[in-house]
Amino acid sequence: MYTIVTGACGFIGANLVKGLNGRGVTNILAVDNLSRADKFVNLTDCEIGDYLDKQEFLDVVDAGQLDGAVEAVLHQGACSDTMETDGRYMMANNYRYSATLLDFCLDQEIPLLYASSASVYGGGGVFREMREFEAPLNVYGYSKFLFDQVVRRRLPDAASQLVGFRYFNVYGPREQHKGRMASVAFHFFNQFQAEGRVKLFEGCDGYADGEQRRDFVSIEDVVKVNMFFLERPQLSGIFNLGTGRAQSFNDVAVAVVNACRSAKGGAALSLAELKAQGMIEYVAFPQALVGKYQSYTEADLSQLRAAGYRDEFATVEQGVAGYVGRRLAAKGK
């Protein structure tokens, strides 16, 4: 029996494959689009049973070749570029593809755990899994929102597990291929290594310079939550997956710079000290993001906690320090 991971060469997908391996699961059918071949490196330390291109996978599903052969599907494959303007591509890749997998899983009565997104909430200030708080600002968010609505309609009659995770700002290993869509921790680290300074946006939406706040969640915590639900097939629903704690971009920058300094024996410095020494500076807020930017996110974890998940989530200071340490160690090899 296969465990299927779509988007398996991507950031979250590859980490889920590694997490499954850690639980002794290796008969994994990895599904992805390797037209950008550099993503393959994310799976070089993982064990899988087989690989299929994402379109070939749908053809195999449609032909019934996987009927009775699948234990669970972890669907992470999607276009995650929030600046993508080709709505037809976004809806085909994120919405229609997901709907096909949903039909397959419900027909086969197998668990489907899939990636939704905190982008469904848009610019509102309440991040609770309820329709009245959902108003996406871009077509990416809309594609995730629309599929969530399908799931809500199908949940009451589903005979198998159906779980959507609204990921907040995830950071961690295996995101190097994501380009501008990689986490701010990733970009801040690269900036500091190259220039000895980190650049943040100036203030917007009433926030001071660098004080826009997001719910930054480590990939390790994301994997733990996915595994928690996979091991409890009686649990279904749509759940926020963040820390429940909003922290500023300044917090991330300070954590990155101090982790880099610590690796060289330097003392930790405050935000004010880092600004005074030119290690943190601010750039104009991009016009292209005006009206399309979430200046504040913070996951309401009430439903996740009600489902029984009790583990604490890493803070930016804890999670980013560990991430930077691993990246520095990798550079030293």
How would you label 189-207 residue by residue, b for 16+ Cβ within 10 Å and e otherwise? bebbeeeebbebbeebeeb
Q: Provide the greatest CA pair distance for the chain.
A: 63
Q: What is the pTM of this model?
A: 0.94
pLDDT at 69 over 70: yes
31-46 pLDDT, tens per residue? 999 888 889 999 999 9
Q: What pLDDT is recorded for position 137?
A: 85
- In this predicted structure, what is the pLDDT of residue 293? 80
Compute how many other C-beta atoms are within 10 angstroms of the C-beta atom of residue 8: 27
Give the residue-averaged pLDDT of 259-280. 96
pLDDT mean across residues, the chain: 94
Q: In the chain, pLDDT over 90 holds for what percent of residues?
A: 83
Q: Give Rg (Cα) of the chain.
A: 20
What is the pLDDT, as a whole number, of residue 181? 86
Q: Tell me which residues are annotated as active site.
A: 140, 178
Cα dihedral 309, 311, 314, 315, rounded to 10, equals 80
pLDDT tens figures, 81-118:
656 666 787 788 789 999 999 999 999 999 999 999 99
Residue pair 216/282 in contact by the 8 Å Cβ criterion: no
| pLDDT per position as a tens digit, 126-167 | 999 999 999 998 889 999 999 999 999 999 999 999 999 999
pLDDT at 56: 95
Cβ of 173: how many Cβ atoms within 10 Å?
A: 19
